Amino acid sequence: MKKDRITYPDGILDLLKVPELRRLIRQDMGSSPLLANELEFLLSPPIPSEVYVKYLSPDAENPVKVADQIRQAASQMMRGTSSADLDKWSKIVALMRKDIIKRFDSKIVPAFYQRDIFRKWHEQTAIAKAKANMGDPKKVAKKLDLDEHYDANILEKYMIAQALGRTDEAAKIEKKLREGHATDLRHIEHQVRKRKEKEATGKTEAERTGVDLTPAKLLNCGFRNVSEKKLREAIMKFSTAVLTAKKADQKAFFKKIQALEPESGIARNMTIENLVKTMRKKGVINEGVYKYDVYKP
């Protein structure tokens, strides 16, 4: 079985040779006494003279599921004159082993690979392996033509998806990565718009309003969805409320900003006071244009 470029054994005997997989399947089979007993049978084959009492009798210590023909043959031996024939009991053990292996290989092992216990372990193992073999994030960012404001966490997720061959997931993450930071094209468009504004009025929008929504500055403040129109509008209204000391509006638009940002966003997880201080420090809110009060709850 191959998953995320990692190959796992298809057969139970090979699976049991891998310590972590052996531990997982024994743990998973713990809720099913029959399967747990069959695993132990494979791991520690019984002495031929004890196989009936331990595994096959109606009062067996560790009952297992085996083909009816095998169970019937064992019962006949116990009733006849062959009850002490170790060679015949050795053949019974071999038949049981073959029967159990066949069932595990065809049904139990494939089902195990779909179980949550394996999936969670595989995800952790695959990610750790991907991280160990990942290249230089800066080189990947350059290859993707990202500027210096890319989200390192999202880039790492992209690199992991690529390393594991998850092409669809990588494509979605790449789209998010490009949308979540200021690309060179967006920066150029912003500069052109600023120049046109200044040529027409003598002042840029930032100089007129005291609010600079340059994508790079927004990213430096910890915002992530800087290409979203609704977020930029909310930031503008929040900043204007700060500049004009309208505390009720500050609180309302702060909540709107939080709703529009991803849960992992830095700005979303700031207090309103810290966000205002950061926006002042990074030049989004220009105190040279307006005097304002920092919101204090």
Beta carbons of 110 and 144 less than 8 angstroms apart: no
Amino acid letter, residue 57: S
Beta carbons of 89 and 51 less than 8 angstroms apart: yes
Phi, psi of 6 (to 5 degrees): -115, 130
Architecture of the domain defined by 2-118: Orthogonal Bundle (1.10)
Per-residue pLDDT tens listing for the chain (297 residues): 999 889 999 999 999 999 999 999 999 998 899 999 999 999 999 999 899 999 999 899 899 999 999 999 998 888 876 667 888 899 999 999 999 999 999 999 999 999 999 999 999 999 998 888 887 888 887 777 776 667 778 888 888 888 888 888 888 888 887 775 544 445 545 555 555 555 555 555 555 567 888 888 888 888 888 878 899 899 999 998 888 888 899 999 999 999 998 887 788 888 999 999 999 888 888 865 444 333 333
Beta carbons of 56 and 101 less than 8 angstroms apart: no
Residues of the chain with CATH 1.10.167: 2-118
Q: Which two tokens stand for residue 54?
A: 């331990």
DSSP string, 233-291: HHHHHHHHHHHTT-HHHHHHHHHHHHHHS-TT-TGGGS-HHHHHHHHHHTTSB-TTT--
Say which residues have a Cβ less than 8 Å from residue 262's Cβ, sequence separation at least 6: 224, 225, 268
Write b or e for each residue in 42-64: b if 16 or more Cβ atoms lie within 10 A of its Cβ, otherwise e.
eeeebebeebbebbbeeeeebbb
Q: Which two tokens stand for residue 240?
A: 């204007």
Say which residues have a Cβ less than 8 Å from residue 281's Cβ, sequence separation at least 6: none
Longest dimension (CA), the chain: 112
Q: What predicted TM-score, i.e. pTM, was given to this entire model?
A: 0.55
For residue 7, what is the DSSP state?
Answer: E
Beta-bridge partners for 7: 2
Q: What is the pLDDT of residue 80?
A: 72
Beta carbons of 93 and 47 less than 8 angstroms apart: no
